[in-house]
């Protein structure tokens, strides 16, 4: 009986490991850099097709089979085709309120009981050099004609979630 239990346990453990979730298969960071972790053969591959350009904060998510879904710097969200997602364009005025200079500018969490929906939690990092000059969020037009600043305006947008569809 002990031998059968050991064989059954070993078989179940191997099956569970074989079908392990692979939501962390892709990691985009830096200046268009990335890594792909292949759980099937244990390799790591450098990739350069990402659109992200950040010195610090970034997050990515893949589906359970390891296919890239989307990634973000806490402001802009790119899909698996490296295109800006709907309502994820920071410089177009529809992005997230995180800051790519926060160490962890974003965290992607799958919505419980719904594998097609995800929450993106962002953290802002108001720059101390201009926070005193701009204690409230600026709503005008910035130099260059955009409604979103390249550099932070000093307003602390805090911690906030956004919900997005994975596909």
pLDDT value for 141: 66
Distance CA 14, CA 116 (A): 27
> Of the spans 2-11, 121-130, 146-155, which averages the highest pLDDT?
121-130
DSSP string, 75-104: S-EEETTS-BPTT--GGGT-S----TTSTT
Beta carbons of 80 and 90 less than 8 angstroms apart: no
pTM listed for this prediction:
0.71
Distance CA 45, CA 36 (A): 5
Band the pLDDT of 166: cuts 50, 70, 90: low
Distance CA 135, CA 122 (A): 20
For the chain, give the percent of residues with pLDDT over 90.
29
| Beta-carbon contacts of residue 93 (< 8 Å; ≥ 6 apart) | 146, 147, 148
**Sheet of 68-72, strands arranged across:** 59-62, 68-72, 77-79
pLDDT value for 3: 53
Kindly state the average pLDDT of the residues 42-64.
90
Check whether 66 has a pLDDT greater than 80: yes
The β-bridge partners of 164 are 118
**Domain parsing of the chain, residue ranges:** 20-165
């Amino acid at each position: 009986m002990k031998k059968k239990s050991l064989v059954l346990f070993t078989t179940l453990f191997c099956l569970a490991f074989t079908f392990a979730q692979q939501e962390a298969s892709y990691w985009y960071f830096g200046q268009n850099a990335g890594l792909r972790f292949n759980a099937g053969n244990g390799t790591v591959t450098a990739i350069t097709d990402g659109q992200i350009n950040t010195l610090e904060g970034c997050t990515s998510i893949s589906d359970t089979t390891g296919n890239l879904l989307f990634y973000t710097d806490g402001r802009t969200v790119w899909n698996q085709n490296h295109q800006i997602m709907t309502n994820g364009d920071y410089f177009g005025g529809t992005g997230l309120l995180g800051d790519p200079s926060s160490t962890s500018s974003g965290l992607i969490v799958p919505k419980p009981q719904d594998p097609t929906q995800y929450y993106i939690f962002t953290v802002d990092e108001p720059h101390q050099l201009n926070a005193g000059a701009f204690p409230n969020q600026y709503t005008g037009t910035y130099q260059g004609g955009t409604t979103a600043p390249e550099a932070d305006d000093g307003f602390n947008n805090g911690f906030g979630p956004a919900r997005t569809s994975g596909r």
